[in-house]
Amino acid sequence: MLEHRSQIEVRYAETDMMGVVYHGSYLPWLEVARTALLAAEGIPYRELEARGFFLPVIEVALRYHKPARYADVVTVHAVIREKPALRLRIDYELFRGAEKLASGHTLHVFIDKAGKPVRPPEEFARLIEARFS
């Protein structure tokens, strides 16, 4: 299992007139957590792209449990629970303190510059083998 926690302070621009976070504002937070997870494991997304590997989102699901509000500090817990092959699933839980605000997942596929599915880079495959064997 690979996991990482990122903290986001809710900005005013991410809320509606009532100070509640707009539902679409959560998606960039998942991206922040996802890239931080990869970087923490020694695989910065920028390096993947520089080597010709991309991880587009092919599926996203998010369930909202309680609203986040302006100035809240939200912890995004990102976890890779399943051994990835061509596809990579990342699960997320978002918290304000101990209170769960949302949960969901993103599904990604490794592609090359031409947009064709490819196997993950060798160092990613080695990391996964070490963590999931």
**112 carries an active-site annotation:** no
Q: What percent of the chain has pLDDT over 70?
A: 100
Task: Count how many domains the chain has.
Answer: 1
Q: Indicate the SS3 state at residue 77.
A: strand
CATH number at residue 63: 3.10.129.10
Helix extents (H) in 25-132: 26-40, 45-50, 122-132
Of 16, 72, 91, 112, the active-site residue reads 16
pLDDT score at 128? 82
Nearest residue to 121 (alpha-carbon basis) of 40, 33, 52, 59:
52
Range of the domain at 49: 2-132
Does 133 have pLDDT greater than 80?
A: no
pLDDT in tens, 72-87: 999 999 999 988 888 9
Does the predicted model carry a pTM greater than 0.85? yes
pLDDT, one tens digit per residue, over 59-69 is 999 999 999 99
Q: What is the pLDDT of residue 63?
A: 98
